[in-house]
Amino acid sequence: MKFKNAIVKKPSKKMVEGISTTNLGKPNYKKALKQHKNYIKALRECGVEVEILEEDEIYPDSMFVEDPAIVTEKCAIITNLGAESRKGEEKEIKSVLKKYYSKNIHEIKYPGTLEGGDVMQVEDHFYIGVSDRTNKDGAKQFINYVEKYNYKGTIVEFEDILHLKTGVAYIGDNTLIVTDTLIDKEEFEDFNKIKINESEKYAANCIRINDYVILPKGYPDTKKDLLKEGFDIKTVDVSEYKKIDGGLSCLSLRF
Ligand code: GLY
């Protein structure tokens, strides 16, 4: 799939109050802003036009724009976020996506919940993780919508990670980069798999955009493995977003 566009949202000072299950301390806001600029630069270098939404002081996690929507070549699905403090983030994203999708916008409705971090696209197939944020009802609503556009959907159940894409990324060429938690899932048995060391598991949240895989900075073994497999790599430091359970994929919508 050729990506042409990306949407990002600037972090506000409120980001230091983002939901966190890590013991890494509070993010440094100035550093986070600099990292965000570098992230946008990397996206542009991958050949996409980047729309930058202004920060808001209401939602601490709102720069993680991947969660309120799923964008595809044919339609967009606005989610019903599972995290209480994030409910409402989807309103701005919906109005922005109207520019790109006209009528092909659908919405996940209560009692379904779904967050974009739980949805991994592999060509015409979506894998939807059922997590603390995404329930089966939300996953089924999502599959019903995308099937209308000739996509397929498979539900994946797991434990111990926030979102599906906390533990796995599709990086093209039938290849997954995947952590221990998900490596033996039968839903993934037909893929080539690059296994991530436990000590580098954060690097599973990487993104393939056009000719490049963008990896978080500071994960040398993973970088070496990808280079060995012939992938072209860019690295971006997202240490301040890691502190609040976020990563490279969470910071943009790509389509
Ligand atoms: N802090 C990112 C999230 O929990 O959604």
Per-residue pLDDT of the chain (255 residues; tens, 9 = 90+): 899 999 999 999 999 999 999 999 999 999 999 999 999 999 999 999 999 999 999 999 999 999 999 999 999 999 999 999 999 999 999 999 999 998 899 999 999 999 999 999 999 999 999 999 999 999 999 999 999 999 999 999 999 999 999 999 999 999 999 999 999 999 999 999 999 999 999 999 999 999 999 999 999 999 999 999 999 999 999 999 999 999 999 999 999
Q: Indicate the pTM of the whole model.
A: 0.97
Residue 137 CB contacts under 8 Å (≥ 6 apart), including other chains: 111, 112, 113
Tell me which residue has its CA closest to atom 3 in ligand 1. Answer: 19
Residue 28 CB contacts under 8 Å (≥ 6 apart), including other chains: 240
CA-closest candidate to residue 239, choices 224, 251, 225: 251
Terminal-to-terminal C-alpha distance of the chain: 9
Question: From the CB of 142, is ligand 1 less than 6 Å away?
Answer: no
22 secondary structure, DSSP code? S
What does the alpha-carbon distance between residue 145 and residue 137 come to, in Å, rounded to a whole number? 12
CA of 230 to the centre of ligand 1 (A): 32
CA-based max dimension of the chain: 45
Atom of ligand 1 nearest to the CA of 162: 4
Residue 9 CB contacts under 8 Å (≥ 6 apart), including other chains: 52, 53, 54, 55, 62, 63, 65
CA of 242 to the centre of ligand 1 (A): 10
Question: From the CB of 245, is ligand 1 less than 6 Å away?
Answer: yes
Tell me which residue has its CA closest to atom 4 in ligand 1. Answer: 19
CA of 28 to the centre of ligand 1 (A): 16
What does the alpha-carbon distance between residue 41 and residue 251 come to, in Å, rounded to a whole number? 13
Residues serving a catalytic function are: 163, 250
Question: From the CB of 19, is ligand 1 less than 6 Å away?
Answer: yes
CA of 187 to the centre of ligand 1 (A): 26
